[in-house]
Structure 1
Amino acid sequence: MTDTIGADLAALFEAAAAAKSLAYAPYSNFPVGAAVRDEHGRLHAGCNVENAAYPVGTCAEAGAIAAMIAAGGRAITTILITGNGPILVTPCGACRQRIREFAEPETPIHIAGPEGIRRSFTLEALLPESFGPDNLKLRYSHSDA
């Protein structure tokens, strides 16, 4: 696979696939894995974890982001999500906003299936005109009021 998608994406794919294989999805039977690369070049993976008190479960993207934060990372430079089935497994709305907290609009988001990368997007394409941390840090001059 490294010849067709490059070593960087292959490493992300392998980390996400390994996490997906460990997912706890007894209710939906829909395991998902995610892997992010942080600003230091480190990989962090997560899987979905369901709960009988539906919808208290955790998405794979949230798990990968939490692992990144716990390891000291603060910026997502790329993310890959993998799931099964013929339809693209893109991040849910809440996860798009979670990704936005730590990623720039041009950050690549790769969507994969068991066979490899199916499609790539930017965060801006999946969450256009989003509200994020920069909105809360803007300082307006008196001429902008």
Structure 2
Amino acid sequence: MSKKTEHPMSESPLMDAARAVREKAYVPYSDFKVGAAIRAPSGAIYSGCNVENVAYPEGTCAEAGAIAAMAAAGEYRIEEVAVIADSPAPVPPCGGCRQKLKEFAAGDVKVTMATTDGKTLTMTVAELLPGAFGAEHMERG
């Protein structure tokens, strides 16, 4: 289901939100700005950017920021995701963020990853995190 394209998603309000919030990233150590936006079933778009910390593991990924904004608004389902970074190829969410996305998104939810120069790659949450750990694993039989 992965789909590579070479055109910008500039017509997409979701990617536009990711692109805009990317500019607000706090990245004094890596200078690697990432923006993410998610759309909830209500149609609302929530965005987040990466926020670094001198103690690297204490930073926050863009996807996690967008999910936190969604939850703060009282929504808990994701219908679509957009992520953008200045990179030669579209950058996928890190492993931790893939698990965070899986918590709130069905396996068929599309995640579009883009570069600032217009390359995109779209995959589903299930493609990004095959064999995912889920709530069903917590059920006692």
- SS of the residue corresponding to residue 55 of structure 1 reads helix
Task: Give the gaps of 5 or more residues in structure 1.
Answer: 141-145
What are the equivalent positions in structure 2 for 1:55-66 lying under 5 Å apart?
Answer: 55-66=57-68
Aligned partner of 1:81 in structure 2 is 83
Aligned partner of 1:131 in structure 2 is 133
Aligned partner of 1:15 in structure 2 is 17
The Cα shift of 1:132 comes to 1.3
- SS of the residue corresponding to residue 52 of structure 1 reads coil
TM (norm. structure 1) is: 0.86
Task: Give the gaps of 5 or more residues in structure 2.
Answer: 1-7
Q: Count the aligned residue pairs.
A: 135
Aligned partner of 1:116 in structure 2 is 118
Aligned partner of 1:102 in structure 2 is 104
Contact 1:13 1:116 in 2 (8 A): no
The Cα shift of 1:53 comes to 1.4
TM (norm. structure 2) is: 0.89
Task: Find out whether 1:53 has 2:55 as its counterpart.
Answer: yes
Matched residues in 2 for 1:76 and 1:27: separation? 30
Matched residues in 2 for 1:134 and 1:24: separation? 36
Residue by residue over 1:86-128, the C-alpha shift from the partner in whole angstroms, topping out at 9 and shown as x without a partner, is 0221000000000010001111000011133511000111101
Which has the bigger relative contact order, CA under 8 A and spacing at least 6? 2
Runs of 4+ in 1 over 4 A off after TM superposition: 4-7
Instruction: Note closer, same or farther for the CA distance 1:5–1:55 as it changes in structure 2 (3 Å cut).
Output: closer
Contact 2:40 2:79 in 1 (8 A): yes
Instruction: Note closer, same or farther for the CA distance 1:45–1:117 as it changes in structure 2 (3 Å cut).
Output: farther
Larger radius of gyration: 1
The Cα shift of 1:5 comes to 4.7
Amino acid in structure 2 at the alignment position of 1:55: P
Contact 1:110 1:117 in 2 (8 A): no
The Cα shift of 1:6 comes to 8.3
Identify, as 1 or 2, the structure richer in helix: 1
